[in-house]
Chains A and B, each alone.
Chain A
Amino acid sequence: MAYLRDTQKALNRTEIEKLSYLGSMATGIAHNINNPINGISLKALRGLRRVKKGDINNQEAQEIFAGIMHEVKHLTSLIKQFQAFARGDRNKRENVDLNDLATRVAAYFDGQFQSHDVVLNLELSDNNPQAYANQFLVEEVLINLVTNAREEVEKKPNAAVWVKTWATLEHSVIQVEDNGPGVSEEQRLFSPFHSTKAHGMGLGLHLAKSALERINGTIFYQNRAKGGACFTVHLLPARGENDE
């Protein structure tokens, strides 16, 4: 364990965290990149077929190119989001719209969830809860929780994950629930190098807790009432312009 502690100290902790989340995000986004590529490929093939036969007219050529550009713009937007996440300033503090953030993270992973037959449900407060935090750190935490939840429920019948947001006077809250088996060793859940997964390093929840500490947030676990896991993240409420 001394060796592990020394190694951990030697490595740049922020970089480890970022690489860990970039890995999860890249895997999730890969599913969303495949779909536009299929569309681009088939439209280009139609253009080639028409050109080879010499029977393409202006209207169809425009429709093909516009369709390809539509898919390319979608891909560009995904890549820009990925770059923003990779390069984003994690020291900045600002009011973060939790509904926007949850919707964005859900969009990264919707293809991946679908391909694993897991339903991702968003239950977002109508009051647009805002938190005083760092959007990239909160995004990291949510990516971690959503990925964990999917891994817990996939291959189970009616597998589902819920992301909820709301705000009270004291906290702005994000909650991630799943209908998997839940957690039996709650007391060690956020400790480093503790994992219940065959291939897990046991760093995910520990990193999430550390990230939240940097923005005065907290995370805690409870069993879901209907069976499954429920992670709740408390963040500072939004600040007004005149707040210190």
Chain B
Amino acid sequence: MNDYPFRALIVDDEVPVRDELALLLQEHHFMVETAADGEEGLQKLLTDEFDVAVVDLKMPKMGGLEMIRKADAKEIDTYVVILTGHGDREDAITALRLQNTVKEWFDKPILDDDAFAQRVKEVAEGVPLDEVSKILSKLPPTIQV
């Protein structure tokens, strides 16, 4: 169990969805930032650090898939949970197959709030633990902690 709150970025153009998911994750002790489209989301990913990003695929200005690709190109490796909702499940599957950072997807109209929060937490937990174990395994034995 970590002793600091996870940081989540929610990127969705629908205000009620953004607000409700932010409240939900706050209830699960996340610190939450939000963005209204892919451009704003990318900007926040580039300038701040997050344990997980929850990203809608269909958004104005820049869609979720393009945002994730651009973040990947800038070597931002924040893990992503995708949101779908307008018949864009094929795009979600494409993202899961092509982008290493995409770990999960949820369909908004049938979203189960508890399952969603639990999975987002697992994905967030996976980021630092994976990274830490990778780094530790490369360190010489004398300075391992």
Contacts and interface: CB of A to CB of B under 8 A. Distances in A.
Given A34-B109, A37-B109, A49-B113, A111 B20 contact: no
Interface residues of B, number: 22
Contacts of A46: 20, 23-24, 113
B23 A34 contact: no
Contacts, number: 53
Contacts of B87: 115
Interface string A33-69: 0110111011101100100000000000000000100
Contacts of A45: 20, 24, 111, 113
A171 interface: no
Given A67-B16, A71-B16, A115-B88, A41 B109 contact: yes
A50 to B, nearest CB: 10
Nearest 10 A/B pairs, CB to CB: A39-B16, A42-B20, A45-B113, A38-B108, A115-B86, A115-B58, A38-B17, A35-B14, A34-B86, A34-B85
Interface of B: 14-17, 20-21, 23-24, 27, 58-60, 63, 85-88, 108-109, 111, 113-114
29 contacts: A34-B85, A34-B108, A34-B109, A38-B14, A38-B16, A38-B85, A38-B108, A39-B15, A39-B20, A41-B108, A42-B16, A42-B20, A42-B21, A42-B24, A42-B111, A42-B113, A43-B16, A43-B20, A45-B24, A45-B111, A46-B20, A46-B23, A46-B24, A49-B113, A49-B114, A114-B58, A114-B59, A115-B58, A117-B63
